[in-house]
Structures are given as structure tokens and as C-alpha cells.
Amino acid sequence: MPRRMIPRNIELYRDHSESYETVDVEGRPHVICPQCLTPVLLCQSLSDRQRRKAARLRETDSVAAMNYLKKAVPCGERAAKAVVLHLRKKDEGCHYCGHPMPRGALLCANCMSVNLDWN
Ligand SMILES: [Zn+2]
Ligand SMILES: [Zn+2]
């Protein structure tokens, strides 16, 4: 069991109502990040090429990455920001705690953050 998934956090995770007040997922596939409780769109409509482009933009300019996602997905400002925040940098660990993660893994085993591996 990851150390942060303590009973209090499990309890918190059960109530998603406030999460949906911050980001409108418009009924699309998403995951609530257990670490920050933000809904993160899985952006299934994007091609691999579009995902790599978003990941590359995020390395240097997260505002540019957000603007790209807003048009490409398309989605609103907050949904795009949530995606950009959870993008994992190439050859680096978890975006939140830096814990090493295998390619393609969605949840960090150490802090339970959602990670999008789009490189
Ligand atoms: Zn998160
Ligand atoms: Zn982590």
C-alpha cells in the first residue's frame, strides 16, 4: 500500500463532488488524481503525434502546452491546465515526487499522483 493512501485520504477520495466544480470534464473519460483530487482528462481523441507535441511544449512552456490542448482536445482552461500539470517529463520520474515510474504507468506508487506519459 502506498504510504500516502492512509485511511483519511481514502475517505477524502470517496467524495469527488468538489473536484467537478473545479474542472468540467463534459462527460469525457477522465481520472480523479488521488493526490490532488483534480479531474484529469485522458484526452483519448488526441493522436500519438498530438500527445508528443503537447508533452514537448510542456517541457519549455506550459502556457503554450495549455493553449495547444484547449484547441486540440478541445477543452476549457482549467481542464487543459490539469492535463499539463500531470504530464510527466521525458526520462524523469513522477511529476509530483520524482519517484521512478515505468513507461506508461498512470499512477505513482509513492504519492498516488496521476502521471500522463505522452513522450
Ligand atoms: Zn494530481
Ligand atoms: Zn509521485
d(CA 64, CA 105): 25
Q: What confidence tens digit (pLDDT) does each residue in 36-93 have?
A: 999 999 999 999 999 999 999 999 999 999 999 999 999 999 999 999 999 999 889 9
**109 alpha carbon to ligand 1 midpoint, in Å?**
13
**5 alpha carbon to ligand 2 midpoint, in Å?**
12
**87 alpha carbon to ligand 2 midpoint, in Å?**
12
DSSP code for 88: P
Which protein residues have their CB within 5 A of the ion that is ligand 1? 33, 35-36, 113
Residue 102 confidence (pLDDT) above 50: yes
d(CA 4, CA 67): 33
Q: What amino acid is encoded at 23 in this protein?
A: V
Q: Is 119 helix (H, G, I), strand (E, B) or coil?
A: coil
| Cis peptide preceding 7, ω within 30 of 0 | no
Q: What confidence tens digit (pLDDT) does each residue in 80-100 have?
A: 999 999 999 988 999 999 999
